[in-house]
């Protein structure tokens, strides 16, 4: 559905040139697709180009055969696209229904009776019909995010793009939101950008990991996980000294016998007592970044 070839985007700011996307190639099909990568990897830039908000510096993007470099292509894509940016400005004094209706007008749904049906339909899809006449200012973070999805869905898009939608949500809201996206992906493409590895593992069959504006990995969550097998250890010590820097600490657990480190790296040779364990998705991500020479030390 989406074909991206040698896509580059350069920003100039304060005399510096930033290569946000650097000859990026990517093919994305139907269903739910994850875009994973550290802050600054280029995810938002890629989504903004796909959504037609910024122009690429070089390269080509085709969505359902429509070339985003042409006016006709842009118009065609607009009619099949829904976009939820990281920060969507909402009018807090409006009710959910008023806001989604307003966005529907902006998207060109001119027929009032069709628009009303469509607004109610999307509010129902996101589970907000019962709250539709409450002011947005009284909504929780998760509810606001659902209003955001409702406005993105109001033109019944075949491609839904969501940028970091679960940031700042509590665990219950996050799970609910993730499940909503999976349901929506049953009959459309949903492109989900996040830096939360767990969100991708729970929802996407396919994913790409971006770093420095390029694709480091393209495949399934289980392929990303499997690549790390043989490179993950648990090591328990009562010493206060952290394991050496050739190993990345993925997590730490305080036990009665000391601190248990989960470590990812080429070899745990310096720690003969370390026990090799099965990799998880987060280990796969850390191993990928480490193999590419990127620092992923969160601790
Ligand atoms: N409008 C802009 N002007 C200058 N530089 C920019 C602009 N937008 C993004 N950048 C730079 O481009 C690079 C990629 O940013 P982008 O926001 O696309 O990454 P990201 O993966 O979405 O990160 P995050 O998760 O932090 O949003 C970063 O170095 C960023 O500072």
For ligand 1, atom 18, which residue shows the shortest CA distance?
42
Atom of ligand 1 minimally distant from the CA of 13: 4
Which residue has the least CA distance to atom 28 on ligand 1? 40
Rg of the chain in Å (alpha carbons):
22
Cα–Cα separations (whole angstroms), residue 98 to 103, 113, 281:
9, 14, 41
Ligand 1 close to Cβ of residue 78 (< 6 A): no
Structure tokens at 288: 């990928």
CATH number belonging to the domain at 2-223, selected among 3.40.50.720, 2.60.260.20, 3.40.50.300, 3.90.105.10: 3.40.50.300
Report whether residue 256 contacts ligand 1, using a CB cutoff of 6 Å. Answer: no
Question: Strands, E, within 98-196: which ranges?
Answer: 159-163, 189-194
Taking the centre of ligand 1 as the mean of its atom positions, its distance from the CA of residue 288, in whole angstroms, is 21
Cβ neighbours of residue 79 closer than 8 Å, sequence gap 6 or more: 155
Distance (Å) from CA 65 to ligand 1 centroid? 27
- Is-contact 96 147, C-beta < 8 A? yes
Q: How far is the CA of 37 from the centre of ligand 1 (A)?
A: 12
- Is 261 strand, coil or helix? strand
Which tokens sit at 157? 């898009």
Q: What is the pLDDT of residues 20-73, one digit of tens each?
A: 999 999 999 989 999 999 889 999 999 999 999 999 999 999 999 999 999 999
Q: Is the pTM of this model over 0.80?
A: yes
Give long-range contacts, CB 8 A cutoff, 24+ apart: 262-271: 262/232, 262/233, 262/234, 263/232, 263/233, 263/234, 263/235, 264/228, 264/231, 264/232, 264/233, 264/290, 265/231, 265/290, 266/231, 268/233, 268/235, 270/243, 270/244, 270/246, 271/233, 271/235, 271/243
Confirm whether the ipTM is greater than 0.90. yes
The DSSP-derived string for 180-204 is HHHHHGGGSEEEEEES-HHHHHHH-
State how far the Cα of 233 lies from the Cα of 268, in Å rounded to an integer. 7
Cα of 74 to ligand 1 centre, how many Å? 23
- Does the beta carbon of 24 sit less than 6 angstroms from any atom of ligand 1? no
Contact between 41 and 215 under an 8 Å Cβ cutoff? The reply is no
Residue positions counted in the chain:
299
Q: Tens of pLDDT along 100-138?
A: 999 999 988 999 999 999 999 999 988 899 999 999 999
Lowest-confidence pick of 134-143, 215-224, 235-244 = 235-244
Check if 37 has its Cβ closer than 6 Å to any atom of ligand 1.
yes
Adjacent-strand bridge partners of 193: 35, 163
Domain limits, the chain: 2-223, 225-291
* pLDDT > 70 fraction of the chain, expressed in percent and rounded: 98
Phi, psi at 251, each rounded to 5°:
-155, 165
Q: What atom in ligand 1 is closest to the CA of residue 163? A: 22
Q: What is the pLDDT of residues 244-278, one digit of tens each?
A: 878 999 999 999 989 999 999 998 888 888 999 99
14 Cβ below 6 A of ligand 1:
no
Ligand 1: centre distance to CA 100 (Å): 28
Helix, strand, coil tally for the chain in percent (to 5): 35, 30, 35
The protein residue with its alpha carbon nearest to ligand 1, atom 12, reads 20
Is 85 touching ligand 1 by the criterion CB < 6 Å? no
- pLDDT for the residue 297: 54
53 lines ligand 1 (CB under 6 A): no
Cα of 140 vs its chain's centroid, Å: 21
Residue whose Cα lies nearest atom 2 of ligand 1: it is 11
Going from the C-alpha of 248 to that of each of 258, 262, 263, 296, the distances in angstroms are: 18, 8, 5, 7
Q: How far is the CA of 46 from the centre of ligand 1 (A)?
A: 10
Ligand 1 atom closest to residue 38's alpha carbon, by position in its atom list: 21
Rounded to whole angstroms, how far apart are CA atoms 83 and 50? 9
């Amino acid at each position: 559905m989406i074909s991206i070839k040698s896509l580059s985007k350069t920003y100039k700011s304060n005399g510096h040139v930033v290569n946000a996307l650097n000859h990026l190639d990517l093919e994305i099909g139907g269903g739910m697709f994850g875009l994973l990568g550290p802050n600054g990897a280029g995810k938002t830039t890629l989504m903004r180009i796909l959504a037609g908000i910024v122009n690429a510096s070089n390269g080509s993007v085709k969505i359902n055969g429509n070339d985003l470099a042409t006016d006709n292509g842009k118009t065609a894509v607009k009619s099949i696209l829904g976009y939820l940016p990281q920060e969507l400005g909402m009018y807090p004094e409006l009710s959910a229904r008023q806001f989604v209706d307003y966005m529907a007008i902006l998207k060109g749904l001119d027929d009032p009776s069709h628009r009303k049906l469509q607004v109610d339909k999307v509010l129902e899809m996101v589970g907000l019909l019962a709250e539709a006449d409450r002011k947005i200012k009284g909504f929780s973070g998760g509810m606001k995010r659902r209003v955001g999805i409702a406005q993105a869905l109001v033109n019944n898009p075949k491609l839904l793009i969501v940028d970091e939608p679960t940031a700042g949500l509590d665990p219950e809201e996050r799970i609910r939101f993730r499940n909503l996206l999976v349901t929506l992906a049953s009959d459309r493409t949903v492109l989900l950008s996040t830096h939360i590895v767990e969100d991708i593992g729970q929802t996407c069959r396919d994913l790409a990991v971006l770093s420095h504006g390029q694709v480091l990995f393209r495949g399934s969550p289980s392929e990303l996980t499997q690549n790390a097998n043989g490179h993950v250890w648990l090591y328990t010590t009562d010493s206060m000294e952290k394991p050496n820097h050739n190993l990345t600490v993925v997590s730490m657990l305080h036990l009665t016998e000391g601190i248990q480190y989960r470590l990812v790296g080429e070899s745990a040779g310096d720690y003969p007592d370390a026990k090799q364990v099965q990799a998880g998705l987060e280990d796969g991500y850390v191993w990928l970044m480490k193999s590419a020479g990127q620092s992923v030390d969160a601790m």
